[in-house]
Structure 1
C-alpha cells in the first residue's frame, strides 16, 4: 500500500554511457523519478538512491513510491534504495547489508509484482545496462509495457510489428503525440472509406491506425514521455471513434446495393451504439464501485476481454463478412455480439453485487 508520500530527493550514482530507447541511464532514471513525483509537495524525509549502471522497469519506481524502506539488491550491492539519507550507500557498487527492518528484494530472484495500471502480475526487469544487453532490455521493457488484459488482436496479432515501429519511432526522436496524430489521420480516413463503401481500403487504413494506437502508448512508456494531455488525446480518440466507424459502415452499404431498410438500420446501429455506451458506463461504474477494472475481477472476465464487443473484436467479424462479400451481415453480427456482450456485463455487475452483499470481498484475481 502507498505511504501517501514520496522521497524528498533523487540521488543517482555511478557512470554509464549506454543508452536505452535513446536515453542515457541518468536521463531515464531522472524521468522516472520526476514522473513519480520525487521531491514533490508530499515528500517525506527519505531519499531515492539509484545506481545508473542498471536499467529497471518503471514498475520498480512505482513500488519504491509505495515502500518507504525499499532496498533492491544485486548480490551484496544495493542498486535501488529508498531510505533515510544516513543509511544510503556512499558510492555505486559498494557492498552493503540492508539495515534491519528494510523491505529487501534481490533482482536475481526476479520478484513478481502486481502492475495495477497494466492489469497484470509481472516480473519487472532489473539488470545491468551494458551494450550487450540493450536489444534484449528494449524488447523486455516493450513487452513489459503491454497490458495483461486486452483484446485478442492487440495481445496476439501485432505486438512484434508494433515493437519494431516503436523502436523506429524512438530512434527518429518522435514523440508519442506525433504517433497519435498520424494514427488519428488514419482513423478519420478509415471513417470516410467506410462511408463511401470502400471497405477494404478502410480496413487497411484502420489496421494502420490500430497498430499506431498500440505504438504511441508503448513509446510513451518505454521513453517515459507520457503526459496528461497525451493520455487525454489518445484515450479520447479511442473512446469516441468506434460509433462513427459503425454508422459509416452501415451508410456505405448503399454503394454495394446492400442498404438496410429503415427498420434494420435503426435496430442494428441503435443496438451497437447503445450497447457500446452502456458497456463503457458499466465499466466506469465498476471501477468506482469496487476500485478496479471489471475485466480483472475473475479469470473469466479477463478471458472475455479478449473478445468482448470492442473495436478490434468487432473488426474481426466485419473483415470475415468482407471475405464472403456480405458487409451487411457483418454489421448485423456486430449488433448481436454487442447485445450479448452487454448481457455479460450486466451479469458481471449483478454477480459482483451479490458477492458483496454476502460479505465476500470483491477483489481482482490478478492481485492474489
Structure 2
C-alpha cells in the first residue's frame, strides 16, 4: 500500500452570487480560502477529485478545512447542498444514487468541530448569503474568527468595538499589516508615555494598540489575507513589547514621587521579565511535547487563560492601582501575579509529564468531547 498522501480536491463552484462580503464576492472569498488550504485549481486536479461548493451559502473556513481531507463527505443545510468532497467522477447530481456510500453532515443537527488554530469547540456557522443577511454573516464570520480561549478583555470587553473597526478597515481596503503598523506605533507611543509617568495617556494609547491587535487578526481571517510576514510582524510585536511596558512603567514612577528603591526595582523587574520569559518557554515546551496549547488541556487551563499574567490582565492590575493613585503598588502586584502564574504553568507542565509517563494520552478537553 502506498504511503503517499491522497491528492487534495479542486474547488468547484456551483451557481452564482453577486452579494459581496467584507468587500469581496463569495467566489473570490472561496478562491482565497482554497489557495490558503493548498487546493489546486480545477484544471490541475486529479480526475474526479472535486470539492463542490454552493455559492448560495457562506460558511466558516473550518468547514473547508474539515471536509477537504474527508472524501465522500457532504455537508447540507436543511437538506440543501452546501459543500461536498466527491471522488471517482461523482457530481452533485449523483448524490441520491450514491447516498449509501457517502457521509452526510446536516448543519441543523449542530455537529461539533474542534478548531485547533482558534482553540475552541463549536458548530461553525453556515448561512445563505443574500443582501439581507450580509451584515449578519459578516458578524458571524468575525466572531467565528475569535479564539475560544483567550484573556478576559479580548473575550468580553472590546469585541463589538473591534468589529466596527474591522468593518471600517475592510471598507477602506486596508491590509492587516497596515493595521498592525498603526498598532505598533501606538505601542511605542504608550511605552514613551509610561516612561514619563503619563500613565493615563499611556493606557489610552495602549488600549488603542490592544484593540488594533485584535482588529488586524480578525481582518486577516475575515478577508482571507493572512500572510507569513504578517503573522511574524504581528506575533513579534505581541511577544516583545510587554517587558518594555513594565520596565518603563517602573521608570515613570519617579514622576509621581513613587519611585521604587534600586533593590526593589531590580527584584520587581527580575520577577516580571524572568516570569514572562519562563512562562512563554513553558507554553512552548507544552506545544512541542504534547502538540497543543497548554491552555486547552483541561477546563481549568482554559479558565486560567482569562486572567493569567499576560499583557491584558496585567493592564487591568495597573489600571486599578492607578485609579487609587498607587501605580507603584500596581507594578509590585503585577510582579507577584507573574510569579503566581508562572508557578501555575510550571505545575501544570509537570502534571502533564506525569500523565504521559503513566501511559495516558494528553488530549484537549475540547477534542475529548463526544
What TM-score range do you get, normalising by the shorter chain? over 0.9
Find out whether 1:320 has 2:304 as its counterpart. Answer: no
Q: How does 1:236-275 map to 2 (within 5 A)?
A: 236-275=236-275
Q: How does 1:293-332 map to 2 (within 5 A)?
A: 293-332=293-332
Q: Contact (CA 8 Å) 1:142, 1:218: kept in 2 or not?
A: yes
The verdict on how the C-alpha distance between 1:261 and 1:156 changes in structure 2, with shifts beyond 3 A counting, is same
Distance in 2 between residues matched to 1:30 and 1:97, nearest whole Å: 29
Find out whether 1:286 has 2:289 as its counterpart. Answer: no
Which residue pairs with 2:33 in the alignment?
Answer: 32
The verdict on how the C-alpha distance between 1:70 and 1:156 changes in structure 2, with shifts beyond 3 A counting, is same
Which segment is superposed worse, 115-124 or 101-110?
A: 101-110
Unaligned runs of 5+ in 2: none
Please report how far the alpha carbon of residue 43 of structure 1 lies from its aligned counterpart in structure 2 after TM superposition.
Answer: 6.9
Q: Contact (CA 8 Å) 1:32, 1:58: kept in 2 or not?
A: yes
Name the SS for the 1:114 alignment partner.
strand
Q: Contact (CA 8 Å) 1:321, 1:329: kept in 2 or not?
A: yes
Distance in 2 between residues matched to 1:97 and 1:329, nearest whole Å: 72
Per-residue CA shift, 1:249-294, capped at 9, x if unaligned? 0111111111111110110011000000000000000001011000
Which residue pairs with 2:90 in the alignment?
Answer: 87
TM-score by length of 1: 0.94
Q: Contact (CA 8 Å) 2:9, 2:68: kept in 1 or not?
A: no
Find out whether 1:65 has 2:68 as its counterpart. Answer: yes
Q: How does 1:329-348 map to 2 (within 5 A)?
A: 329-348=329-348
Q: Contact (CA 8 Å) 1:76, 1:96: kept in 2 or not?
A: no
TM-score by length of 2: 0.94
Distance in 2 between residues matched to 1:217 and 1:29, nearest whole Å: 19
Unaligned runs of 5+ in 1: none
Please report how far the alpha carbon of residue 208 of structure 1 lies from its aligned counterpart in structure 2 after TM superposition.
Answer: 0.3
Which residue pairs with 1:149 in the alignment?
Answer: 149
Partner residue of 1:78 out of 72, 78, 81: 81
| CA RMSD, Structure 1 to Structure 2 (Å) | 1.8
Name the SS for the 2:361 alignment partner.
coil
Which residue pairs with 1:176 in the alignment?
Answer: 176
Distance in 2 between residues matched to 1:148 and 1:196, nearest whole Å: 37
